[in-house]
Structure 1
Amino acid sequence: MLDLEPIAALCKTEGLALVVDSTFATPVNFRPLEHGADVVIHSATKYLNGHSDVIAGAVVGSEAVIEEVKKLMRIWGQAIDPMAAWLVERGMKTLVVRVERHNQTALAVAQWCSQQPQFAAVHFPGLPGHKDHEVAKRILNGFGGMLGVELKGGTRASERFLRALTIAAHAPSLGGVETLVSEPRLTSHAMLSPEERAQAGIPDGFLRFSIGLEDADDLIADFAQALAQL
């Protein structure tokens, strides 16, 4: 979790543009332009759409920036089709209520996980013990729906835990109405060695959850029964 304002000040001093990917936060929880960013990008596939049924992206910035983006899109042919645009527009209508639910449920699940001895670490900025909690509390309107956990026992424990879950779907995406869980060692960080992943803060046994709109008590009960099978 980074405080953008000092970074934005440095970028302006050095004549650099500050581009921020705010997909995880969404405009509901954080608006980088208000903190000095020049350009904001979103994977609209994720929270903006919210239903895991479209591939799209969004760029936000000044009129001059957007005009340049539009020119490049015409040259490269990257405009989305009308149906995809409609799906994103449909999802945006419920963005606020969905993100508020993601915030609430993820916080409840993270708090519960932080009390379970089977987890070596729980990564969620809404927890007071998180190293960036104070920054997150100051700049975010909500802590989001992304949750990382490290299971004691490494890969073997994480595989058994995944097989035992009944609600969360094992899939690499995020930001939809359903809870998804992925293993970075097999997806986003598969090209790294175990040692390199550990140095990046992603040891074996690390799982990334995108907490959905299910009832928090149901998710916690599912986590509990899965932990009981380790």
Structure 2
Amino acid sequence: MKKQRFQTKAVRTKVESSQYGEFSSPIYMTSGYQFEDAEDARARFTGEKDDNIYSRYSNPSVSEFILKLASLEGAEDGIGTSSGMAAVFGTFAGLLNAGDHFIASRSLFGSTVSVINQILPRWNITASLVDPSNPDSWTSQITTRTKLFYLETPTNPVLDLIDLELVSEFCKKNKLIMVVDNCFASPYVQQPLIWGADIVLHSATKYIDGQGRSMGGAILGKSELLEPIRFFCRQTGPALSPFNAWVLSKSLETLPVRMRAHSENALEIAKRLEVHPLVNWVKYPHLPSHPAYSVGVKQMKTGGGMVAFEIKGGVEQGRKFLDHLKMFSLVANLGDSRSIATHPASTTHSKLSEQERLAANITNGSIRLSIGLEDVEDIWEDLQQALQQK
């Protein structure tokens, strides 16, 4: 059979059916697996035989989810985790040792910044947060212990874009592992491995689930590079549950359809916000006014479902805007079928200092929108009436 296209792989990739020949994959709700005999048990534990032992290690439902997601990302292998942050921390803990250093974009999800600044230093692991728009400054941050470059693109929450090809060239030149959080884009919109990334991370809780039902994460890349991460995750236990893996695997079947609809709605909303008199700026990857528009159209198939803008009036007006939304949900999530609005300075990035927020381009009036699958006119009417509140 010839190589399948993205949407076909999303729908058709699955593990082999059991002896019952089921059409839809079952949920393998079991903690452990029986061994045929003592020799079988020994061979599985030594790795001579690749088969299930215990669901903290592996599970058929998790394996199918990872098989499908790895296929969509163009990855050789993958690891399922209990959440996106488990994937982030598992990657750091698996690849870095005491005394190691890494470079990271300063535009990151708030919890990731907290891990970098407050948790990893306990084990003498340090990082330099760099300006992703100023590649000339990266080299000066490299030390003899620098191991990797960590980034998001588009960034959370204000949708700055980082040229993956440029970062890949930098990492290859300096022998760094390139790790990309692809949560905001999803594998339908962007595939960082094509552009030279070594490892791709996902909070599957977001667009991969797409309906706010379950939590999960994934780490994808080459098998050899994932081995120390797999060891850490197996021993410490941030395992993806079989039920959540089954839900996420099913969700992947509709990912292309959903992402096209999210992107279509988001682009239209971004265009309308851009000309609204109460809005200072709008950032959307496929909006020509985006400072890195050329990067967005180069490495992203569509612009995705996230829109960022700055409302005039700062924190006070930002909160007033949220309070007057009628249809939008105020939820600590994104990538849902329902539209969600967030004021990052007072919620997702409130643990950062004002200096740290401004360095990441998060102003007091910044608003993050996760544009859902509702009718675009209903989405716009709700935003418009909330913007006009005095």
Q: Tell me which interval the TM-score lies in, with the shorter structure as reference length.
A: over 0.9
Aligned partner of residue 218 in structure 1, secondary structure: helix
Aligned partner of residue 27 in structure 1, secondary structure: helix
The one-character-per-residue Cα deviations of 1:4-28 (angstroms, maximum 9, x if unpaired) are 1121122112111101000101110
The one-character-per-residue Cα deviations of 1:156-190 (angstroms, maximum 9, x if unpaired) are 21122111111111122111111111111122321
Query: Within the alignment, does 1:74 sit opposite 2:234 as a pair?
Result: yes
Deviation at 1:30, TM superposition (A): 0.6
Range with greater deviation from structure 2 (90-99 or 5-14) = 5-14
Q: What residue is the counterpart of 1:45 in the other structure?
A: 205
CA distance in 1, matches of 2:225, 2:352: 35
Q: Which runs of 4+ in 1 moved over 4 A?
A: none
The 3 A distance-change label for structure 1 pair 100 and 194 is same
Aligned partner of residue 229 in structure 2, secondary structure: helix
Deviation at 1:196, TM superposition (A): 4.2
Q: What residue is the counterpart of 2:351 in the other structure?
A: 191
Partner AA of 1:50 in structure 2? G
Does structure 2 retain, via aligned residues, the 8 Å contact 1:158–1:207? Answer: yes
Where does structure 2 lack aligned partners over 5 or more consecutive residues? 1-160
CA distance in 1, matches of 2:256, 2:275: 29
- Give the paired residue count: 230
Pairs within 5 Å for 1:85-96:
85-96=245-256
Deviation at 1:195, TM superposition (A): 4.8
Deviation at 1:72, TM superposition (A): 2.3
Q: TM-score, normalization: structure 2?
A: 0.57
Q: What residue is the counterpart of 1:130 in the other structure?
A: 290
CA distance in 2, matches of 1:82, 1:16: 34
CA distance in 1, matches of 2:252, 2:168: 28
Partner AA of 1:74 in structure 2? R
Q: What residue is the counterpart of 1:3 in the other structure?
A: 163
Cα RMSD of the aligned pairs, angstroms, is: 1.4
Does structure 1 retain, via aligned residues, the 8 Å contact 2:319–2:343? Answer: no
CA distance in 2, matches of 1:79, 1:5: 32
Does structure 2 retain, via aligned residues, the 8 Å contact 1:172–1:181? Answer: no
Identical columns (%): 37
Where does structure 1 lack aligned partners over 5 or more consecutive residues? none
Q: What residue is the counterpart of 2:310 in the other structure?
A: 150
Q: TM-score, normalization: structure 1?
A: 0.95
- Larger radius of gyration, structure 1 or 2? 2
